[in-house]
A and B are shown apart, each in its own frame.
Chain A
Amino acid sequence: METLEQIKNRAELAARGAKIDIVVNPGPSQQSSLLIDNEHAVAVAQFLRDHPALGFDFCSNVTGVDWLDRTVKKTTKVKQVVDGVEKEVDQTSEETIPGYLEAVYHLYSMKLKHGPLIIRMQTMNRTDGAKLPSVTPVWRSAELQEREIYDLYGIHFDGHPDLRRILMWDEFVDHPMRKDYVPPDDFEWEPTPHDDVLERAKKHYTARPQLDGAEQITAQPE
Chain B
Amino acid sequence: MSVTVETLEAMERPPVTMSSRLDGELLEVSMGPQHPSTHGVFQMNVALEGEIVRKLKPVFGYLHRNHEQIGEQTSYLGSMPYTDRLDYFCSMSNNWAYALSVEKLTGIEVPERAEYLRVILAELTRLQNHASLLGFLLSDMGAWGTPLMYAFREREKILDLFESLSGSRMMCDYMRFGGCRVDASDDWLAAAKKIVDRFPKFLDEFEELILQNEIVIARTQNVGKLPAELAVSAGVTGPMLRACGVNYDIRKVDGYGIYPRFKFRIPLGDHGDTYDRLMMRALEMRESVELLRQALPQIPAGPIMNPKVKLRAFRPPIGEAYGRIEAPKGELGFYLISDGGPNPYRYRVRPPSFINLTILEDMCLGHTVADVMVILGSIDIVMGEVDR
User: Which A residue's beta carbon lies closest to that of B69?
Assistant: A177
Complex: A27 Cα to B316 Cα, angstroms: 9
Assess whether B69 is in contact with A169, with CB atoms less than 8 Å apart: no
Q: Which residues of A contact B233 (CB under 8 A)?
A: 57, 139-141
Assess whether B333 is in contact with A141, with CB atoms less than 8 Å apart: no
Q: Which B residues from 330 to 350 make CB contacts under 8 A with A?
A: 331, 333, 335, 337-338, 345-346, 348, 350
| A65 at interface, CB cutoff 8 A | yes
Stretch at the interface among B102-110, B196-204, B288-296: B102-110
- Also in contact, A27 and B317, with CB within 8 A (given A145-B355, A164-B14, A168-B64): yes
Q: Which residues of B contact A104 (CB under 8 A)?
A: 335
Binary A-proximity of B229-240 (CB < 8 A = 1, otherwise 0):
010111111000
Assess whether B105 is in contact with A29, with CB atoms less than 8 Å apart: yes
Q: Which residues of A contact B106 (CB under 8 A)?
A: 27-28
Q: Which A residues from 44 to 84 make CB contacts under 8 A with B?
A: 57-61, 63, 65
| B322 at interface, CB cutoff 8 A | yes
| B22 at interface, CB cutoff 8 A | no
Q: Which A residues from 166 to 183 make CB contacts under 8 A with B?
A: 166-170, 176-177
| B218 at interface, CB cutoff 8 A | no
| A6 at interface, CB cutoff 8 A | no
- Also in contact, A166 and B60, with CB within 8 A (given A27-B316, A60-B331, A139-B233): yes
Q: Which residues of A contact B154 (CB under 8 A)?
A: none
| A106 at interface, CB cutoff 8 A | yes
Picked from B16, B60, B321, the residue with its CB within 8 Å of the CB of A29 is B321
Assess whether B107 is in contact with A29, with CB atoms less than 8 Å apart: yes
- Also in contact, A26 and B348, with CB within 8 A (given A144-B355, A167-B64, A177-B69): no
Q: Which residues of B contact A31 (CB under 8 A)?
A: 104, 320-322
Assess whether B320 is in contact with A27, with CB atoms less than 8 Å apart: yes
Q: Which residues of B contact A164 (CB under 8 A)?
A: 13-14
Best-buried of B316, B320, B331 by chain A (most CB within 10 Å): B320
| B358 at interface, CB cutoff 8 A | yes
Assess whether A168 is in contact with B61, with CB atoms less than 8 Å apart: yes
User: Which A residue's beta carbon lies closest to that of B108?
Assistant: A28
Assess whether A140 is in contact with B322, with CB atoms less than 8 Å apart: no
Complex: A80 Cα to B61 Cα, angstroms: 62
Q: Which residues of A contact B357 (CB under 8 A)?
A: 144
CB distance from A214 to the nearest CB of B (A): 51
- Also in contact, A27 and B333, with CB within 8 A (given A60-B350, A176-B69): no
Q: Which residues of A contact B331 (CB under 8 A)?
A: 60
Assess whether A113 is in contact with B248, with CB atoms less than 8 Å apart: yes
Binary A-proximity of B210-239 (CB < 8 A = 1, otherwise 0):
000000000000000000001011111100
- Also in contact, A144 and B69, with CB within 8 A (given A59-B235, A60-B235, A61-B350): no
Complex: A140 Cα to B235 Cα, angstroms: 7
Assess whether A26 is in contact with B235, with CB atoms less than 8 Å apart: no
- Also in contact, A61 and B319, with CB within 8 A (given A113-B248, A140-B358, A167-B64): no
Q: Which residues of B contact A152 (CB under 8 A)?
A: 66, 68
| A89 at interface, CB cutoff 8 A | no
Picked from A116, A140, A166, the residue with its CB within 8 Å of the CB of B230 is A140
Assess whether B354 is in contact with A144, with CB atoms less than 8 Å apart: yes
User: Which A residue's beta carbon lies closest to that of B387?
Assistant: A167
- Also in contact, A65 and B319, with CB within 8 A (given A27-B105, A140-B235, A166-B60): no
User: Which A residue's beta carbon lies closest to that of B233?
Assistant: A140
Picked from A65, A113, A140, A177, the residue with its CB within 8 Å of the CB of B234 is A140
CB distance from A218 to the nearest CB of B (A): 47
Complex: A110 Cα to B236 Cα, angstroms: 11
| A20 at interface, CB cutoff 8 A | no
Assess whether A60 is in contact with B248, with CB atoms less than 8 Å apart: no
Assess whether A57 is in contact with B232, with CB atoms less than 8 Å apart: yes
CB distance from B362 to the nearest CB of A (A): 9
| B281 at interface, CB cutoff 8 A | no
CB distance from A154 to the nearest CB of B (A): 14
Q: Which residues of A contact B346 (CB under 8 A)?
A: 63, 65
Binding site for A on B (CB under 8 A): 13-14, 16, 60-61, 64, 66, 68-69, 104-107, 230, 232-237, 246, 248, 253, 316-322, 324, 331, 333, 335, 337-338, 345-346, 348, 350, 354-355, 357-359, 387-388
29 A–B pairs (Cβ distance < 8 Å), ordered by A: A27-B107, A27-B317, A28-B105, A28-B106, A29-B105, A29-B319, A29-B320, A29-B322, A31-B322, A57-B232, A57-B233, A58-B235, A60-B324, A60-B333, A60-B350, A61-B350, A63-B348, A106-B335, A110-B248, A116-B322, A118-B322, A140-B233, A164-B13, A164-B14, A166-B60, A166-B61, A167-B388, A176-B66, A177-B68
**Pairs A-B, 9 closest by C-beta atoms:** A27-B319, A141-B235, A28-B107, A29-B321, A140-B234, A167-B61, A61-B350, A167-B64, A63-B348
